[in-house]
Structure 1
Amino acid sequence: MDIEFHEAGVSFEGRQALHPVSLALREHRIGIIGLNGSGKTTFARLINGLTKPTTGHVRVNGHDTATETQAVMAEAGFVFQVPQNQIILPILKDDIALGLKARGTLKADCEAKTFAALSRLGIEHLAHRRAHELSGGELQLAALAAVLATEPSLVILDEPTNQLDLKNRAIVTNAIASLKENVIVISHDLDLIAGFDRALLFGEGRLIEDGQPATVIDRYRTLNL
């Protein structure tokens, strides 16, 4: 995975949500931390084209996120902070198949890809369950399975362990650890980020620390003393 930011910034209604930043991301597992409103989610959404830069540009495997959005979204899947917002149809397997059909997958292949993604996470038994019947951890895994079914090379997760109890947090953390895809995680869960290859710290719309997770997490803690 090759992600390049070239003076990429975002402003909304005259407010600078993310000041221009230039960097390259090539590590397998990258964590993004910072206080609420620090710009970390805006930064991550730039990577798969959910947010477009108002200055500069972002490229993912050579594709410009502003002008080649479909190609970028095929490379980079995004799991939202509230998984219920990602699951549209009541039955889980139907919802995953819908996402595949929207990407042009042949109907004959949809079921196989759906169950393959569910099996990877050990939740094939949830295929016929309704979304409102699932626990918080099951919902998070269901949303992740829907993204994995599309076979992205990068998975971005926004606060995947937020509001989960210890059991479900462990289940989701283990699922993330098992992924062969490149992973970028936005999180307040510092224990999750600690084992990654690289971490980025944002504050007030700026990148203020970039490096080994231990160093970046220590900087974050000093900011909150």
Structure 2
Amino acid sequence: MIEIEDIVFRRDGAPVFDGLRLRLDAPRVAIVGRNGSGKSTLLRLIAGLAEPQGGEVRVGGVKVAKDRAGALATVGILFQNPDHQIIFPTVIEEIAFGLEQQGHPRDEARRLAGAALARAGHPDWAERLCHTLSQGQRQMVCLTAILAMEPRWILFDEPFNSLDIPSILRTEARIAALSQKVVTVTHDPARVRDYDRVIWLEQGAVAADGAPGAVLPAYVAAMERLARETPC
């Protein structure tokens, strides 16, 4: 379970969250909301990449902001832009890095990385340069690196952004096939209509929380109303 306990988070003195409390345990959870509502910040807090000024986030009992080793074994995050995540020149180095962070010796990490690439259906990518891959392929490298570490939860921040339709459909299928529990942030309600739970964030607070069939129509209607009321 992801436990978000009364978190307080400010950025440059401005409040993003002020006492947010959530429990996430469904296999597929989606988070929707306007830009600036706190969606991506919430994912970073769940992954332990940001620490709240108040309250606490636990994933599977791990205090992710305090226990980096425990966080790496429990939760992985796929950023909106894979170029913000990839730091090594070759695919095998990129995938092996997280395994080394978990304590695997370098040779063992590379062996496990190669096995992860084989499971992903791309054993021939090992020595390819990451910058030569397409956006969707670089995203696949990032996901493979996460899967190699075998976390219990995987967080996706706008995974369909900047992808063409075939890549969107492939990404959607990959997420659906994962054995891990998933939290997905998206601006595209159609991509999460089959999820188990949808949370609509508005200015750092929960505007609605429940089944997609209830939350998504209300969210879309509110966004359409906002578009009509906002001058071009």
TM tier, smaller: over 0.9
What's 2:8 paired with?
A: 9
**Structure 1 residues 191 and 85: CA distance shift in structure 2, 3 A:** same
What's 1:71 paired with?
A: 70
Quote the sequence identity (%). Answer: 35
Does residue 176 of the first structure (1) align with residue 175 of the second (2)? yes
Q: What's the CA shift string for 1:58-83, capped at 9, x where partnerless?
A: 11111223332331232001111110
Contact preservation (8 Å) 1:30, 1:198: yes
What's 1:98 paired with?
A: 97
Per the TM alignment, residue 11 of structure 1 is displaced from its structure 2 partner at its CA by 1.0
- SS of 1:71's equivalent in the other structure is helix
Contact preservation (8 Å) 2:20, 2:204: no
Does residue 19 of the first structure (1) align with residue 26 of the second (2)? no
**Structure 1 residues 62 and 180: CA distance shift in structure 2, 3 A:** same
- Counting only pairs closer than 5 Å after superposition, residues 1-225 of structure 1 correspond to structure 2 as 2-225=1-224
Contact preservation (8 Å) 1:136, 1:168: no
TM-score (structure 2 length as normaliser): 0.91
TM-score (structure 1 length as normaliser): 0.93
Question: Runs of at least 4 residues of structure 1 off by over 3 A?
Answer: none
The worse-fitting range, judged by mean Cα deviation, of 107-116 and 38-47 is 107-116
Q: What's the CA shift string for 1:89-146, capped at 9, x where partnerless?
A: 1110122112211221133422332123223332323222111111111111111011
Q: What CA distance in whole angstroms lies between the structure 2 residues aligned with 1:7 and 1:34?
A: 20
Q: What CA distance in whole angstroms lies between the structure 2 residues aligned with 1:26 and 1:116?
A: 29
Q: What CA distance in whole angstroms lies between the structure 2 residues aligned with 1:61 and 1:125?
A: 35
Gaps of 5+ in 1: none
- SS of 2:30's equivalent in the other structure is strand
What's 2:230 paired with?
A: none
The residue type equivalent to 1:53 in the other structure is P
The residue type equivalent to 2:219 in the other structure is Y
- SS of 2:80's equivalent in the other structure is coil
Q: How many residues align?
A: 224
Contact preservation (8 Å) 1:121, 1:175: no
- SS of 1:219's equivalent in the other structure is helix
- SS of 1:224's equivalent in the other structure is helix
Q: What CA distance in whole angstroms lies between the structure 1 residues aligned with 2:67 and 2:17?
A: 21
The residue type equivalent to 1:104 in the other structure is G
The residue type equivalent to 1:61 in the other structure is G
Contact preservation (8 Å) 1:137, 1:171: no
